[in-house]
Structure 1
Amino acid sequence: MANETMLQAFEWYLPADGHHWRRLQEEIPIFQKLGLTKVWLPPAFKGTGPNDVGYGVYDLFDLGEFDQNGTVLTKYGSKEDYLSLIQSLKEAGIMPLADVVLNHKASGDSKESFSVLRMDPANRQSPLSEPFEIEAWTAFTFPGRRDTYNDFKWHWYHFTGVDYDAKHDESGIYLILGDNKGWADQERIDNENGNFDYLMYDDLDFKHPEVVSHLKDWAKWFLDTSQAAGFRLDAVKHIDSEFMAEFIRYIRSDINPDFYVFGEYWKNDAAMTQDYLEQIDQSFSLVDVVLHMNFYDAGQKGSQFNLSAVLDGSLMQASPDLAVTFVDNHDSQRGQALESTVEEWFKPLAYALILLRQQGLPCIFYGDYYGISGDFAQQDFRELLDKLTFLRQHYVYGEQNDYFDHPNCIAWTCLGNEEHPDGLAVLLSNGDKGWKKINMGTLNQGKVFIDYLGNSTDEVTIGQDGWAEFPVEAGSVSAWVDRDSLVN
């Protein structure tokens, strides 16, 4: 079975020209060459305006079809182009994943009055006021869509909180009062800031039966319409975990039993990540935030970082079948809310760690493959990623042995299997030039290995006992393969 690889097919600063769906469609031959099995597409729903990256979601039933919030197209294009891209990806054998934003709604159509408590932003369990009345943009009637596909209307009682009081022209965190209102249950939500149910905009109340029923109606419509094969779930640590697990169970039982899901649980805490997986009955995968933060720390600390501990606490290590591994994404890139960009010098090492190992589902970031322009410009790593994905497709198989025995120089091998018999040795250094004595097995005796990445010009001949010494340059990565296997 071929190794899986995913692409996050966007970054934050893409041009808002409505052509991204078409650009991605033109890149499908490249995706196939990279061996991609899944492509994570950005949110396709109408947002706050034509420049919305997709996370200020306004109307889940508008995929770039209706004139709402000053635009027909979304930032990425039209509904027609989106559906065409999904169909083309599926025809190419690539699973299209839709980025779904359920936590909040933005840019309401009219104001409503209701009672609230103003809450302490540092402790959302602690009120700063007595109950009082505000006005907020909580009525969503979607006049541009005119009840097409669905006639549900959102009102203040469908939300738990808002961040703007239009009556007094003040911003804050306001807990909506009423029957069965309040933040999500403390046991089923992230506990940062006392209770991290509230993130932004108008926060959905997943205790309200109308909200739950409507979101199931939407999921059925969206999946029938788009034919997307999976979801990336945004901001799940801010959403009631019981709702989230039940929502995915509904999709798999009533719509698509093979539906793939992974969630963004952004928490640099191994124990809490494992606890969340238990809360959702391990029903979907999570992004490996601990591993990403290890990469970030490694890039910052250089040779002072203990490279032999780079996997410690990661999902890749603890729950590999549920780990979506990544180096950077749209939130961690420069200028964003969760900025934790991995230093450019360390990115080749980080990508080797996710693409040349068998644990986890690695996700390549669009900004790393195609580069990023503008105020937060970044070089592309296309040449490197082309090579690493080639190795992943042909060499990352069989018995995997680790040589994580030095704080500045580590290595591992993949010894191959019947279908992919050629071995691979990977070495990383975050300090001086180093070397490792490695066993490639007697099947490789006498073979000459070269660094496919081209960072080392040496040739290594495997001894009759299967052992050899492999070098790696300072602050670099080398991926050693049988020279003759590249010709075949």
Structure 2
Amino acid sequence: MKKPIPKIYSFLALTAFLCSCSQNETNEIDAKAESQQFKIINVTNHDGKPFSTGDSKTTRTGKYVDNPGGGVMMQAFYWDVPAGGTWWDTVNSKVTAWSNAGIGSIWLPPASKAQNGAFSMGYDPTDYFDFGDFNQNGTTETRFGSKTELVSLITKAHTENMKVYADIVINHNSGGQSEANPFTGTNTWTNFNGVASGKFKRSYNDFYKNSYGNNDEGAFGGFPDLCHASPYVQDWLWLRADGVGKYYKNTMKFDGWRFDYVKGFGSWVVRDWNANVGGFSVGELWDSNVNTLNDWANNANSSVFDFACYYKMNDAFDGNNLALLNDDMMWKRNPYKAVTFVSNHDTDEISNKLLAYSYILTHEGYPTIFYRDYEEWLDKSKLNNLIWIHNNKATGNTSILYSDNDEYIARRNGYNGNPGLVVYINNSTTWQERWIQTNWANTQIKDFTGNSSWYPTTQGDQWVKIQCPPKGYTVWSINQ
């Protein structure tokens, strides 16, 4: 049974509020409040549990340990990164700076040898145990480099107290030889008995259709569809000590998994992998329906990318309707299993990216930063500032204070001595100001982005006026 998102709507008693204001502010506040029709939406739909990023650091160079629903993840690649075997070294050269900025984990592209050899992005896997150390598919190194370089990168990341997630493609395989297939009555490209590593050899028995059935949840791109119902396949993927999952975790030292195209197989596959192998996991379930995302995450016992949030942000920021941010998203349903993002190697639709990053880096969920956004396309100093805010201020559950077409204001309510924050996003072309209610009485606050020079003091009833620049954002918290 699907549970609708519980929201608590509380309309503020403006009469009581006005009585507590000083006389010279009453008229201005009354006009503001009347025009805004203040409404606070408390997002308390995870049983009231506080949401925290973990250890609170006070320095820009603090190291952060990631956890499901906390920290910041870097997608450390994009589609068609430079070929030539240099990518592992490129990422290696950046992990110290990323860690100093507060990034706690990196997600790497599929690391094993694929059909297209030195030119493959890894999503057409042939040999799960060839990391660039076997001469296979026309090359020894993968597009990204050698096994030695990959191990060096993982070791360096761990030295910097960062986790490393492997992109795992287990829906389909590619690069097998042709063989007669009695289940299809034709020849199929399903003979992987000659893989150079000699591990996880496969034949037509290990792909649909076969003795276990005609198909599972979905095939992809005409590739041979791996049969997870086969005990042999299960054994090699996640059960045996020298199988794919445990070899990646225990020998290669990966800390977690990004599962590609999970629509192609049952959620039980990820659940069984996680139960037998362990580590953080997130599934790519490309679906904007929150019920679908939440059901899969619960059934798989895994995090899931918050495509519902992604598409709402696209419509809100590019469609000039920030009120859409009131709608349901995975991070509101289950923040500890929601991985939020602004763009990735497959999709890049949002134009107002800094506004979107200001949203995911101040709200609940496990935010992901896209390599090209950070290293090439956006202002790195502004992203670093938002990462710092996320790691130091973004604690507690969320109350949406105000939204309309152009403006959105939300409050993180703080946790365990951390005061939380108020984020103000303005998609209009002019400066905006709003009276809002904080959790702080008679306290000076400031904008931690530096976009506003105001240092207002909250009133005894916790109300204060804040501002936000055009096409910009501010993030307010106690001045300390």
Common fold by TM > 0.5: yes
1:44-443 alignment runs, 5 A limit = 44-48=111-115, 49-108=117-176, 110-114=177-181, 133-142=185-194, 144-145=196-197, 147=198, 150=199, 152-160=200-208, 176=209, 178-184=210-216, 189=217, 196-216=218-238, 217-252=243-278, 259-280=279-300, 283-301=301-319, 303=320, 305=321, 307-310=322-325, 312-333=327-348, 341-343=349-351, 346-357=352-363, 359-371=364-376, 379-398=377-396, 400-414=398-412, 416=414, 420-421=418-419, 424-433=421-430, 434-443=432-441
Return the alpha-carbon distance in structure 2 between the equivalents of residues 144 and 413 of structure 1. 55
User: What is the alpha-carbon distance in structure 1 between the residues aligned to residue 445 and residue 268 of structure 2?
Assistant: 55
Q: Indicate the residue corresponding to 2:51 in structure 1.
A: none
* Residue 236 of structure 1: how far off its partner (Å): 0.9
Segment drifting more, 427-436 vs 12-21: 427-436
Q: Distance in 2 between matches of 1:104 and 1:243?
A: 14
With over 3 angstroms needed to count, the CA separation of the structure-2 counterparts of 1:293 and 1:66, relative to structure 1, is: same
CA 1:413–1:273: 2 relative to 1, 3 Å: closer
Number of the residue aligned with 1:17: 84
Residues of 1 paired with 2:268 and 2:99: CA distance? Answer: 37
Q: In structure 1, what is the Cα distance between the partners aligned to 2:399 and 2:329?
A: 18
TM-aligned CA deviation for residue 26 of structure 1: 1.7
Deviation at 1:461, TM superposition (A): 1.7
Please list the CA deviations of residues 110-132 of structure 1 after superposition, one character each: whole Å capped at 9, or x if unmatched. Answer: 2112256xxxxxxxxxxxxxxx6
SS of aligned partner of 2:372: helix
For the residues of structure 2 that align with 1:317 and 1:39, how far apart are their CA atoms? 24
The answer to whether the Cα contact below 8 Å between 1:311 and 1:317 also exists between their aligned partners in 2 is no
2:78, 2:258 → 1: CA distance?
15
CA contact (8 A) 1:387 1:453 kept: no
**SS in structure 1 opposite 2:190?**
strand
1:475 aligns to what?
471
Q: Quick check: 1:462 aligned with 2:460?
A: no
Deviations 1:287-340 (A, max 9, x none): 101111112223442x2x2x122252311111111100111111113xxxxxxx
Q: CA deviation at 1:442?
A: 4.2
Return the offset for 1:243: 2.5
In 2, the alpha carbon distance for the partners of 1:473 and 1:428 equals: 9
- The normalised TM-score by structure 1 is 0.78
Q: Secondary structure at the match of 1:105?
A: coil
1:41 maps onto 2:36 in alignment = no
Q: Is the 8 A contact 1:460 1:469 kept in 2?
A: no
Counterpart CA distance in 1 for 2:196 and 2:416 is 59
> SS in structure 2 opposite 1:329?
coil
Q: 2:441 touches 2:458 (CA, 8 Å); kept in 1?
A: no
What stretches of structure 2 of length at least 5 have no aligned partner?
1-53, 56-69
Structure 2 CA distance for partners of 1:463 and 1:322, relative to 1, 3 Å: closer
5+ residue gaps, structure 1, are 117-131, 161-175, 190-195, 253-258, 334-340, 372-378
What SS does structure 2 have at the residue aligned with 1:104? Answer: coil
> How many Å separate the matches in 2 of 1:40 and 1:91?
16
RMSD: 2.3
Count matched residues.
Answer: 406
Secondary structure, aligned partner of 1:7: strand
2:126, 2:195 within 8 Å by CA — same for their partners in 1? Answer: no
% same residue: 27
TM-score, with length taken from structure 2? 0.79
Q: Which amino acid aligns with 1:224?
A: N
Separation in structure 1 between the aligned mates of residue 397 and residue 331 of structure 2, nearest angstrom: 17
Residue identity in the other structure for 2:370: F
Q: Secondary structure of the residue that 2:126 maps to in structure 1?
A: coil
Structure 2 residue identity aligned to 1:204: L
In 2, Cα distance between equivalents of 1:91 and 1:42: 20
Q: Comparing both chains, which one has the higher relative contact order based on Cα–Cα distances under 8 Å and sequence gaps of 6 or more?
A: 2
Q: Deviations over 1:405-445 (max 9, x none)?
A: 43321112346556545x63311122353322123344553
Cα pair distance change 1:368/1:453, threshold 3 Å: farther
Q: Deviation string for 1:154-193 (max 9, x for gaps)?
A: 1122111xxxxxxxxxxxxxxx3x4332112xxxx3xxxx
Aligned 8 A contact 2:126 2:173 in 1: yes
User: How big is the shift at 1:227?
Assistant: 1.1
Structure 2 counterpart of 1:6: 73
